[in-house]
Structure 1
Amino acid sequence: MAEPRTAGPDHRDGRVYLSTPETDLAIRVARATGRPLLLRGEPGSGKSSLAPWVAAREKWRYYEHVVTSRTQTQDLMWSFDIVRRFADAPVYAARDEKLDESRYVTPGVLWWAFDRESALRRGAPPPAEPDPTLEPLPLLNRGTKRDGAVVLIDEIDKADPDVPNALLVPLGSREFTVTETGTLVQGAEGSTGNHLVIITTNDERELPAAFLRRCVVLTLPAPDHKRLVEIAQRHLRTYKVAHEHPDPAGLARHLADELQKVRNEAALHGGRPPSTAEYLDTFFACLQLKIVVGDDQWAALCRMTLRKDDQPGWS
């Protein structure tokens, strides 16, 4: 029996991704032009998995920011703790000491990508280290190359429409100035090809035309039957899973059939089609719980993991 599975269901470690020639070309074009790579596709189609996979393949540093409706452009570059700064000001004034604004700065993902050393110092000039900060995802970034980075900006369509347009200058020039401290953050000269920004969208909101013009755009299609089976087999080989299922390969094929059936029904009845992530959830649940196709738990499991938006009239 294999050892237990070593990671959660949403792996961001970059160990598994089934690339295609078109995906590889899009990555090369983005690197050659220095433009962000905008990934479109259904939720669960693997958009967010590409960035950590590229980082792992290149041994580059990896950073990610999941966008919400409250995200502001500055959040991707830096944040400033104005509340703590105001609270500390009287204390420093009483001691007749100068307040160091750098202490209240937290670098964002673009700062870490463009200039890691400056981010570690919160922008304070060397050798000063007023309040050194920790690099995000330290375990994942251990042993990576210092001169390369991949940034994932996930679900940009959830942000206000002004956010994508406001990103055009820092992404295009690979530099910005921290307002509160005057720190200029710049990417190293000639390192454009060693920095890749991958942005994902579920197309829930139309993106500005100016933003689209400055991106390399790739649409990821929903995987077909063969690709689904390959994805399941790759995950099974990569992440050690304790199971005693009699036929994992047959299970992967049957679940691919079932997924396509539910997707067709969703299209017919206006429901939400299940994704690759839900396919994998069902696959691993069957392995762990020893559920086989057609047994008394099979239909209930599929309702829980695939038919979440089940509607009257669906079979």
Structure 2
Amino acid sequence: MSETPGWWIYQGTGEQHDGIERLPAPPPWRSFDEAATPTAPPVAETAADARQGGKYRPDRDTVELVNAALYLRRPLLVTGRPGTGKSTLATAIAHELRLGRPLRWNITSRVTLKDGLYQYDPLARLYQNSRRVAGDEGEDVGRFIRLGPLGTALLPAARPRVLLIDEIDKGDLDLPNDLLTIFEDGTYEIPELVRQADHSPDALVMAADSTERVPVHAGRVRCRAFPVIVMTSNDEREFPPAFLRRCVQVTLRQPDGDKLARIVSAHLDGLADGSADLIDSFLARREPGDLATDQLLNAIYLTDQAGRSGGVDRLQLAEKVMANLSRQSDDD
């Protein structure tokens, strides 16, 4: 990567820094409850997050668009073939900018907006009420509510949380439109808490990725700063124009030979120089069908380990673990 522009916050190097502190104020139309007291519990990244995020190597265009989303406080919509690193981008941003462990919301055809915001357990509440004794203090409704990944990302936080919304194109047709209001307003209500707000305005609820309960006032959550949202799509459907114009769109291209060599060097130190033949084989096999980059990494690691005992046909063994993904899908 050539000289880094001074305005970039996210550098794409995998080296941690506090550049998020240099992020200027948001555009006036993307300003939220900046005076709110941070309530979101910090969640440290895991060792796996640190390893994965530190070795991710995005291209220059991707880094520039990530920074555009940071400045504009807009979600990223990341498209590309399987195995191009769409999901890993969220981990890489969280790692480099020291934003803690990224939240993750996996989308299926059955997922609704409410699933991402919060879950309410009425049966547990009914059971608890049946055991209450006369004279007990007021009911703690917050005990029966757990925020979802999106709901947690919108909690007021000292630093914005990173949220991965994975494979949004698999969701219900209405989901993108349902997300529009949330993305624009940065706020949502929990009706079960709103109904009791007149006599019990404050409640403690569970966050998605923490055992710590967080306060919610009058049943309403409003973000302090817009979270870093990365939505991935395999381009299996089109999205409404109103949704697209509120996103920063990124298309991840399949890496060429030079970039593959850099990826191998980052993940398998010392093996890149002796893996040119496997990289060439990978590129040749990728043309007629789908192959993911991690298949190449698996092949290089396996052939290196197996080859230490001698008598191994490296290319033949590598081809067995670089099976074409689209053909497998057709056979299933």
* TM-score category, normalised to shorter length: 0.7 to 0.9
> Residues 112, 249 of structure 1: CA spacing in aligned structure 2 closer, same or farther, 3 A cutoff?
same
**Aligned residues of 1:35 and 1:172 also touching (Cα < 8 A):** no
2:292 equivalent in structure 1: 275
Letter in 1 for 2:319: C
Q: CA deviation at 1:11?
A: 7.8
* 1:152–1:197 Cα contact (<8 Å) kept: yes
Structure 1 pair 302/149, CA: closer, same or farther in 2 (3 Å)?
same
Aligned twin of 2:16: none
CA shift for structure 1 position 280: 1.7
Q: Is the 8 A contact 1:45 1:223 kept in 2?
A: yes
- For the pair 1:91 / 2:131, whether they are aligned, the reply is yes
Residue 184 of structure 1 is matched in structure 2 by 220
1:121-151: CA deviation from partner (whole Å, max 9, x where unpaired): xxxxxxxxxxxxxxxxxxxxxxxxx422211
Partner residue in 2 for 1:235: 267
What residue in structure 2 maps to residue 169 of structure 1? 181
Instruction: Name the amino acid aligned to 1:88.
Output: Q
Give yes or no for contact 1:174–1:187 (8 Å, CA) kept in 2.
Answer: yes
Q: Which runs of 5+ in 1 are unaligned?
A: 1-5, 118-145, 238-246, 267-272
Larger RCO, structures 1/2 (Cα 8 Å, 6+ apart): 1
Displacement of 1:231 = 0.3
- Number of paired residues? 258
Q: What letter is aligned with 1:170?
A: I
Give the aligned CA root-mean-square deviation in angstroms: 2.8
Q: CA deviation at 1:94?
A: 6.5
SS at match of 1:45: coil
For the pair 1:35 / 2:74, whether they are aligned, the reply is yes
Contact 1:41–1:220 (CA under 8 A) maintained in structure 2: yes
Whichever residue aligns with residue 110 of structure 2, its letter is: R
- Is the CA contact 1:78–1:111 (under 8 Å) kept in the aligned structure 2? yes
Q: Are the counterparts in 1 of residues 83 and 293 from structure 2 also a CA contact under 8 Å?
A: yes
Among all aligned residue pairs of Structure 1 and Structure 2, give the percentage whose two residues are the same amino acid: 32
Q: Deviations over 1:8-41 (max 9, x none)?
A: 7x98741111122211211121122221110000
Q: Which residue of 1 aligns with 2:283?
A: 260
Cα deviation digits, residues 33-92 of structure 1 (max 9, x gap)? 221110000011011111111111111132121212222111222111223223323122
TM-score of the superposed pair, with normalisation by structure 2: 0.70
Which has the larger displacement, 80-89 or 24-33?
80-89
Residue 239 (structure 2) aligns with: 207
Q: What is the TM-score normalised by the length of structure 1?
A: 0.73
The correspondence for 1:216, drawn from 235, 242, 248, is 248
SS in 1 for 2:249: strand
Task: Check conservation: 1:291, 1:298, Cα contact below 8 A.
Answer: no
**1:222: how far off?**
0.5
